Structure 1
Amino acid sequence: MTFLNPAILLGLLAASVPIIIHLFNRRKLEIVEFSTLKFLKELQKTKIKRIKLKQIILLILRVLIIVFLVFAFARPAIKSINSSYGSSSSKSTGVLILDDSPSMAIIEGRGSKFSKAKHLMKSIMNFYQDGDDIIIYYASEPDRNYKFNTPEQAINFFSKKSVSEKPANLLECLKKASDILKRSSNINKEIFLLSDLQKDNLNSVDSISAYFNSEGINFYITDFENSQKVNYSLNSISINNRIFELNKEISINVAAKGNTGDRVLSLFINKSRAAQKRIEFENGNRISEDFTVTLKETGLLQIHASLEEDDFDYDNSFYEAISIPEIINVGLIYNDIEEITFIKSALEVEEGKSIKTTTI
């Protein structure tokens, strides 16, 4: 036999209380005999036997009540005799909710919050054994869960997980976890929530914890609390030009936001650095910077703006794309040739380079 809560067995010490009280009540008192009472001795002997019997029965009942209460809270479980079952008949169902939202990518100390959360999940797996029900939810996809029957399978699965770009929906995950545990017939029912508990995700942790406790579900929260971190982010890239030509300059505007301080902002075109500036941030205000670059390639060009690394790299880059034609086709439609004389002359300067004119 095993006990699910062996620490409660210390309560068996309380079973000695009725015995101690009984012994105190049995203290031998000084007997003073009176001649007038001697005739009652025979009656006393018979009565006292009955009283002692009642006291012993009451003592046994009191001790048993305490012992049974302690055993009830210790939750005894009998191991299966049939070896084909392989493990204790008291199975567990554990639901682990891993917050994989972008905020978990923030670097703290030697690693991100997300890597620390996964490391903690590996430690939690030590409390489960083969045959237990292990269900994993990722906070970014509350409508989907992953079920495993061995800790090793679960570890191999979530070890490969990376941070998602989707926001977390912790409340919906908790609702789904609650439904699963209510349907479970296993004795142990547990929920582990590993998150940084962003305000937009979960507001009433205390009430949620109280609800699960009332349902007989053990609820554990690991809060990877947000501390003040250095973060700079890029918000947009906009191209100020409308016509793009090879070997011509274009103007690119980059908007950014961040803590007070300075950061290097780089602009890349097709992965080649085209420009770089050191920009100043102040009090989290939004700023914008203009870059002027010369287009040296034709075709589809990827424009990539990037800030140097900080504690949260997920918002340090922004992308845009433009298409540069090898030849710009220009059609001149006229009724009278004199109407297009000046325009045609101007275009002929670039004729054969990047502009091809057609008159109709």
Structure 2
Amino acid sequence: MSFLTPFFLWLLPLTAIPLIIHLLNRRNLITIDFSTLRFLKLLEKESIRKLQILQILLLILRTIIILCIVMMISRPVINGIFNLQNSGESALHAIVLDDSFSMAGSRDHVQITVRKILNQIPDKNQLIWINTNSGLQFKGLREDIPPIESLVKSTFLGESLINSLNILAVNSEGEFTSKELYILTDGQYSSIKELNNNSDQLGSFHIYTFIAPEIENNLAITQLNIVNEILLPNDQMEIEVSVQNSGVENIENRLLQLIINEMIVGQQLISLNPGNIKIFTFKTALSKSGSHSGIVELDGDDRMEDNRFYFTLNIPNRHKIAIISDSKESSYYIRESLQALNKFGESLIISEFIDFNSPQLRMHEQDIIFHLNPEI
């Protein structure tokens, strides 16, 4: 006989609880004052013996109940002629790891948890390992799994659990005595909600969810957006930065910096409550065209991986703009507006055409095309 979850066998000492209670009750004597011993003669020896036997039977029954509960959750398997335990078909174990960016700071904790899980899985059992972003990482016998360090990794993405559950459904077909699913996540609301909404796919699995410990002090830069559609030299641009408080503490007066070409061009002191997301805006201008490297940076906290966001600003030497209109009058206002932006004629090359069939129009060379009064 073997056990699918032998970890719970550590609960076997609990079977001694009824015996301990029985012995303590025997020592708990109650003194009752009475005037005569004649009533004790009414108690026959057989009645006392029956009472003692009843107490022993109750003790045995209580012990058996606790033993059965421990054995039930340990899930014993009897090895017969067809030894499923050795063939690797006795049980299927699947590990789904949330490798999104929010798990980056819990790498050590995840590795420790995974090792504990793997220690409970027999070498000949089937094992599937799926990362939410990276997909299927391993499928085979437990004894053939690659080093844990190569499987426990994080990405800069935020893929949902739905894709992982679909991969699991495809790769878990077959006859098994049991199917065990271990989900390791940071317990964000979106992940738990998806798991509940897709519970029908997991009807044949016993599910164990391991939640990574919460981070106390952490701000994360989640997104960056360049508001301007056209970038011009010496023209003001707006950069929006989304910051989330993914910790459990209130953050006040944390420094947020905008750095372009290794020069600090903007600073803000920001404050956020736990779980909140807020957009902060920087305004700046660049005097030269070309490619410019940028960084948005937060002061240090418990997780450094999400404190920087790298981006590139590409300002062309001159933007090529084509205006397609059937007359000069209809394009007058947009032409004058563009000329106002075109300081000294250095930023924009504006060309006008009657229609798309004009031989001088090379659409692949244009950055922007305005088509006025198109036929619908």
Q: Please state which band the TM-score falls in when normalised by the shorter chain.
A: 0.5 to 0.7
Taking the aligned partners of 1:29 and 1:230, their CA distance within structure 2 comes to 74
Contact 1:126-1:151 within 8 A present in 2 as well: no
CA 1:238–1:81 in structure 2 vs 1: closer, same or farther (change >3 Å)? closer
Query: What is aligned with 2:27?
Result: none
- How many residues are paired up? 268
1: CA distance between counterparts of 2:216 and 2:225?
A: 24
Match of 1:162 in 2: 153
* Structure 2 contact 107–152 (Cα < 8 Å) conserved: no
Give CA-to-partner distance per residue, 1:218-255, whole Å, 9 cap, x none: 321101254554315353234597444xxxx4544332
Q: 2:79 matched to which residue of 1?
A: 78
**Helix, strand or coil for the counterpart of 1:200?**
helix
Check whether the contact 2:96–2:183 (CA below 8 A) recurs between aligned residues.
yes
Task: Say yes or no: does 1:288 pair with 2:273.
Answer: no
Q: Is the 8 A contact 1:177 1:191 kept in 2?
A: no
Equivalent residue for 2:129?
A: 136
Partner of 1:267: 259
Corresponding residue of 2:224: 235
Compute the displacement of 1:266 (Å). 3.4
What amino acid does structure 2 have at the position aligned with 1:289? Answer: F
After superposition, the CA RMSD in angstroms is 5.1
Q: Which residue of 1 aligns with 2:120?
A: 127
Q: Is the contact between residue 186 and residue 214 of structure 2 (CA under 8 Å) also seen in structure 1?
A: yes
> Are the equivalent residues in 2 in contact too, given 1:77–1:89 (CA < 8 A)?
no
Query: Are residues 265 and 80 of structure 1, via their aligned partners in 2, closer, same or farther at CA, if it must alter by over 3 Å?
Result: farther
Q: Is the 8 A contact 1:79 1:89 kept in 2?
A: no
CA contact (8 A) 2:224 2:241 kept: yes
Looking at structure 1, the residues matched to 284 and 207 of structure 2 have their Cα atoms a distance apart, in angstroms, of 53
Partner in structure 1 of residue 209 of structure 2: 221
Helix, strand or coil at the partner of 1:265: strand
Match of 1:321 in 2: 313
Partner of 2:139: 147
Mark the CA change 1:203 to 1:317 in structure 2 (over 3 Å): closer, same or farther.
same
CA drift of 1:262 comes to 3.2
Q: Residues of 2 paired with 1:139 and 1:328: CA distance?
A: 41
Question: Distance in 1 between the 2:348 and 2:46 partners?
Answer: 125
Pairing of 1:278-357 with structure 2 (within 5 A): 278-283=267-272, 285-295=278-288, 299=290, 301-308=291-298, 309-310=300-301, 311=303, 313-314=305-306, 316-325=308-317
- Paired with 1:120 and 1:185, the residues of 2 have a C-alpha distance of 28
2: CA distance, partners of 1:96 / 1:319: 35
Give me the whole-angstrom Cα distance separating, in 1, the residues matched to 2:235 and 2:180. 59
In the TM superposition, residue 175 of structure 1 has moved relative to its aligned partner by 6.0
Distance 1:211 1:328 in 2: 53
Which structure has the larger Rg over C-alpha atoms?
Answer: 1
- Contact 1:237/1:320, CA 8 A, preserved across alignment: no
Deviations 1:127-160 (A, max 9, x none): 2243221101112366x4630213452435x625
Partner letter of residue 98 of structure 2?
A: D
TM-score, structure 1 normalization: 0.55
Q: Provide the C-alpha distance between the structure 1 equivalents of 2:89 and 2:171, rounded to a whole number of angstroms.
A: 18
CA contact (8 A) 2:88 2:141 kept: no
Partner amino acid, structure 2, of 1:219: I
Assess if the C-alpha contact under 8 Å between 1:241 and 1:251 holds in 2.
no
Shift of 1:193: 0.7
Q: Find the aligned partners of 1:146 and 1:194 in 2 and give their Cα distance.
A: 16
Q: Distance in 2 between matches of 1:168 and 1:98?
A: 11
Partner Cα separation in structure 2 for residue 10 and residue 89 of structure 1: 31
Asked if the contact 2:138–2:145 (Cα under 8 Å) also holds between the matched residues in 1, the reply is no
* Residue equivalent to 2:327: none
- C-alpha spacing 1:100/1:89, structure 2 compared with 1 (3 Å): closer
Name the TM-score, length of structure 2 as normaliser.
0.53
Partner of residue 194, structure 1: 184
Amino acid in the other structure paired with 2:224: N
Q: How far has the Cα of 1:280 moved from its partner? A: 1.8
- C-alpha change, 1:155 and 1:188, in structure 2 (3 Å) is farther
Distance in 2 (CA, whole Å) between partners of 1:276 and 1:231 is 21
Deviations 1:25-84 (A, max 9, x none): xx9869xxxxxxxxxxxxxxxxxxxxxxxxxxxxxxxx9xx89x96995634338899xx
Q: Which amino acid aligns with 2:210?
A: T
Measured after TM superposition, the shift of residue 263 of structure 1 is 1.1
Cα distance change of structure 1 residues 8 and 115 upon mapping to structure 2, 3 Å threshold: closer
Question: Aligned to 2:153, what secondary structure does the other structure show?
Answer: coil
One-letter identity of the residue aligned with 1:191: L
In 1, Cα distance between the equivalents of 2:153 and 2:11?
40
Give secondary structure in 2 for the equivalent of 1:314: coil
**Contact conserved, 2:91 with 2:178, CA < 8 A, in 1?**
yes
How far the C-alpha of 1:304 sits from its partner, in A, is 1.4
Paired amino acid for 1:162: K
Q: Deviations over 1:140-191 (max 9, x none)?
A: 366x4630213452435x625532333232255346546755x443334211
